[in-house]
Amino acid sequence: MKTKKTKIFGQHFLKNEDVLELEAKITNLANKEVLEIGAGDGRLTKKLLEQRPKKVLAIEIDRELCYQLEKKFKNEISQGRLEIVNEDFLNLDIKKIDIIIGNVPYNISSKIILKLRKIEFEKAILMMQKEFCQRLAAPPATSEYGRISALAQAYFDIEQIAQVSKENFYPKPKVDSQIIMLKRKKTPKLSKNFELVSAALFAHRLADVKNAIKRSRHFFGWTKEEVGEKLKKFKNYDKKVFMLNWQEINQIAKKLVE
């Protein structure tokens, strides 16, 4: 087991057995390689192993919890059914895995979504803060819709599975959670500048496209004259940024910098 220096991570542990069971059974894990984000004390890990996956790769940042996991699952580890990695998931270089499952810390939810876009997988079953999940799935022209919504919807099909009350955790967090399932879109034909342009646009979410680009010219290193030339391509385009779906953002990116 790779080890990492212990520190305080403020984890909340899911104590409801029915919810743990639901997470493990949302999709078929038999003979699949499964990555668990944040194994904690192994409550979900146990349920995952019961589904007879080919292997579970359990990622846990807390060293002391990893020691506990080693003792709890020594038979599964010796059989090669489980591997425990004491590391921050965000720092791992993972190219491909069948299934990803995890109860994600609220404070890194956006970073997790951005990390997942770089990994090839079939499905990801994640429990996150309810409000964040609603933002991911929010349609354009709503108050919840923002850059993370557009990015997530460009890369994934998003299904909201179930809401989970904060009463199901120990210690109890301040907010409720939600389980979602992400499926990788097979061929998102995105501009190479899609993410840069989306960041520039959503820096001025309530502005129209032309004004948002004008105000965000520093994202591209353009002079006033250069951005003026670029904006000629959008002569009659006065749609507000928060009304754009990811396909429209992609088209703007192609017009703007390609």
What's the fold here for domain 194-257? Helicase, Ruva Protein; domain 3 (1.10.8)
Q: What is the dotted CATH code of the domain comprising 13-184?
A: 3.40.50.150
13-184 against 194-257: fold identical:
no
* pLDDT on residue 257: 81
Tens-place pLDDT, residues 62-103? 999 999 999 999 999 999 999 999 999 999 999 999 999 999
- pLDDT at position 3: 46
Which residue ranges in the chain fall short of pLDDT 70? 1-11, 187, 258
With residue 48 as reference, give the H or E element that holds it. helix 43-50
Sequence ranges of the domains in the chain:
13-184, 194-257
Residue 128: exposure state from Cβ atoms within 10 A (0-12, 13-18, ≥19): buried
DSSP code per residue over 8-31? -----EE--HHHHHHHHHSS--TT
Per DSSP, 122 falls in state: S
Q: What is the pLDDT of residue 217?
A: 96
pLDDT of residue 198: 97
